Structure 1
Amino acid sequence: MTVRATSTCRWAAALSALMTVLAVPAGAQTDAGPYGFSVQVSLSPKALKKLTDISESVTVRSFYYGTMERKPTRADIKRARAEGREPDQIEITGDTATLPAAGGTAAMAGRGVPGADVAAIGKNPVKVNINVFSARKAAPDNLLDCDLFDDAVAVARAKPIAITCRLIGEAPE
Structure 2
Amino acid sequence: MPRAATLVKAAIAAGAAIATGLLLTQCGQPKASANGFDVAVSFTPAASAKLKELGKKAVVDAYFYGLPTEATAGKADEDGHINLGEAFASIDGSDQTVTIKGDVIDPAMMDKIKADSTAVTVRAYLDPTAGVANVLDCSIFNGPVSAAKAKPVAIACDVAK
When normalised by structure 1's length, the TM-score is 0.68
Correspondence 1:126-137 to 2 at 5 A? 126-137=118-129
Q: 1:88 to 1:146 in 2, by over 3 A?
A: closer
* SS of the residue 2:98 aligns to: strand
8 Å Cα contact 2:48/2:93 also seen in 1: yes
CA displacement, residues 100-135 of structure 1 (integer Å, 9 cap, x when unaligned): 122422211010211221112132410000110011
When normalised by structure 2's length, the TM-score is 0.72
Q: 1:87 to 1:60 in 2, by over 3 A?
A: closer
Would you tell me which structure has more helix in proportion to its own residues? 2
Aligned-residue identity in percent:
28
Correspondence 1:67 to 2:67: yes
The 2-side partners of 1:89 and 1:51 are apart by 33
Matched pairs, number: 130
* SS of the residue 1:59 aligns to: strand
User: Match of 2:41, as an amino acid?
Assistant: V
Q: Which runs of 5+ in 2 are unaligned?
A: 1-31
Over 3 Å off, 4+ runs: 136-139
Let me know the Cα RMSD of the aligned residues: 2.1
Q: 1:135 to 1:155 in 2, by over 3 A?
A: same
The 2-side partners of 1:87 and 1:130 are apart by 16
Look up the match of 2:93: 101
